[in-house]
Every structure is written in C-alpha cells, then in structure tokens.
Amino acid sequence: QGGNNAGHTVVVDGKEYDFHLFPSGIINPKAISFIGKTILELDLIICGLKDWEKRLIISDRAHIVFDFHQAVDGLQEVQRQAQEGKNIGTTKKGIGPTYSSKAARTGLRICDLLSDFDEFSSRFKNLAQQYKSMFPTLEIDIEGQLKKLKGYAEKIRPMVRDGVYFMYEALHGSPKKILVEGANAALLDIDFGTYPFVTSSNCTVGGVCTGLGVPPQHVGDVYGVVKAYTTRVGIGAFPTEQINEIGDLLQSRGHEWGVTTGRKRRCGWLDLVILKYAHMINGFTALALTKLDILDVLDEIKIGVAYKLGGKRIPYFP
C-alpha cells in the first residue's frame, strides 16, 4: 500500500538496507517479491542487491508517481502552512497528489506505460497541463519526462505481470508461504487514522484485499508490530508524548529518525488505547513487541491506559 513515502531499515548479516518500496523479502534470494496495487515511483529501482530484477514482480495496475506529483506535494504543504499556519507533514514524495489523480480517474498506471506510448504521452500531457493550471508556478519538462519514462518502460517490462492473476496462481498453485508486508501504521490509515495527519492509503489489514486482490478468506495470521514506546513522525495528536529528557532519551537510544525524511521522530510512553484501537480494526493474531531494550536504562516505565473525555474515562479511541 502507499508508495515510497514509507521507509524501513532492514539489517541482515550485519548489512543495513533502507527500503522505501521494495518488499523486505527482496533480500532473500529464494523469495519472489511482488509490488501490488501501490503507487510506484520509478526512480526507486536502484539498490546494492544482486539479481534483484529476477525476483521482483510489479503489478500492471500500479499507479505511477510523476516528478510533478512530487513538486505539487511540496507546493501544497507550502500553501497549507500559509493559509492555516500548519501543514500535514507529508514526506513530499508525491503520494497524496498521485492518489488524487487516481481518484479523479486521470492517473496513469504501469499498464498504460507499457502499451501504446503515444496514447500514454497524450494522457501524460493532459495531466501535466491540469496541474500547471492549478499551480501556475509549477514547471514541468514534459518532453524530458516522457523520454525518461520511455526508458523506464523497457527496463521494467520483463518484471510486469497481471497482478490479480499472479496472486490467484500463488494462492491456488503449489503450496507456498505468502507474507504480505504493509507500510505505515494503523494510525496513519486514510480512513481510521488521526485524520488529516495521515497517509493516503489503507495501511490496515484491509489493504491486503484491496491492495493485492486477495479474497478475505485467504488472510491467515495477522501480526501487529509495535514498539515498547510510541513514536510519530510529523504533526498530529500524541497524548503520551514526552517533550522532555525522557523523550530525548527514547529518541537518541532508539535511533528514532524517519528513514525517508531524516526527521526526528517524536517519542513518548506506550499508548495502549491506540494499540487496542489498532487491534479492533486489524484483529491481531499476535504482537511483535520491539525495542524493549531501549527502556533498559529507566528506573520507571509509564504506560498510557485510558483516555478521558469531559472528565470521564471512555472505552474507545475518539
């Protein structure tokens, strides 16, 4: 789900990889990695792995993030800051504008790029003009972009498959272990997160069905990954936040920097209300609790157990 706005650091055999769109399984030479109905930024396909092209498959339905989507993302943040005195804190990777194009049915997908390039070029020019009319300061090198995209098309053509059929065969063919990796967290979900300080996609478990075309009855175990404390990149509500030496300690000991943005993550005590809420939506089979060792140096550890609204404890996440 989403796009290269999310970053995750994977360490294998002492070597560190920072991935933004690659599934973590790309490191495993025995695994096939599949990028589903996501938002695809074509510049990403460079990393220090051997033969990754042979084990990566890209869905033909993936939408493409263009350079002007990224530029517009930045311009929108500047506008919000000027008009409202605050922005959303996006990663400026063009994800929101690309989803806007998708919802407006003017977006372009991998299947468009790989079929009739003249038709693709015409639709690309129309989309670029739409954005130029909305943002007069926006500059787009249309011909330069199209030349680059034509080159990308040939590079990725061998990797592209019909994503729905690929997943159907994976589920119904010879027995396989299938692991679906979601980016971002439940509280960044466009529908169930701390709106408007959220991402543009469904990063809850429903994204397995809507993102890959996997029927619900095929979803097996659901693992929730949670730190032993709570963090957040960017602005938005954070009741257990510690703007003090405790927050600084968690931030420095936990190496809490955004992989994509390099921004410091805000840190605070574990918020069980959020965790219960994430469980209500996702129905976790199990929790993977990480970074417990970061708390080792503290004499006392606090945990958020309930919220009050109007002086009364409430049993839900408001």
The residues annotated with a catalytic role in the active site are 102
How many whole angstroms separate alpha carbon 123 and alpha carbon 144? Answer: 15
Can you tell me whether residue 243 is helix, strand or coil?
coil
**316 DSSP β-pair partners:** none
Can you tell me whether residue 230 is helix, strand or coil?
strand
**Lookup: tokens for 73:** 């993302």
In the block, residue with structure tokens 């490191």: 27
Can you tell me whether residue 94 is helix, strand or coil?
coil
Q: Do residues 1 and 127 lie in contact, with contact meaning Cβ atoms separated by under 8 Å?
A: no
Angle between helices 142-156 and 117-134 (to 10 degrees): 140
Residue 139: partners with Cβ closer than 8 Å, 6 or more residues away: 71
In the block, residue with structure tokens 């500047």: 78
